[in-house]
Amino acid sequence: MKCVVCFAAAPGEPARCPQCGYDNGAPGANDGAAILKAREAFKEQTTAYNPDARVTRSDKLKPWVSLLLGFVFLIFWLRACSSMGWHLW
């Protein structure tokens, strides 16, 4: 079965779509206005159509901060191990 809202293919003939939850067996499920309304609701809840709406600035910065922090720890570790404990900096 192929969902009329999200176009996901599902084996068999399930009443509800496993991806978007649209009830294909409900009365009036093939109404064009209901399908368009369900598509817009599906687009609002997923990030595939508008990733910038859900991804915050801090979510974008976290990998870079962790990379910088890892680099600082690496440099500190290399410096500490090369001095044999006599001088840290």
Please write the tens of the pLDDT for every residue from 7-52: 888 787 767 888 888 887 788 878 888 888 888 888 887 766 676 7
Cα-based distances in Å from 80 to 29, 67, 71: 68, 20, 14
Q: Which residues contact 31 (CB under 8 A, 6 or more apart)?
A: none
Q: What residues are paired with 16 via a beta bridge?
A: 23
Using CB atoms within 10 Å of the CB of residue 5, give its burial: 0 to 12 exposed, 13 to 18 middle, 19+ buried: buried
Domain-wise residue ranges, the chain: 1-54, 56-82
Confidence of residue 71 (pLDDT cuts 50, 70, 90): very high
| Whole-structure pTM value | 0.51
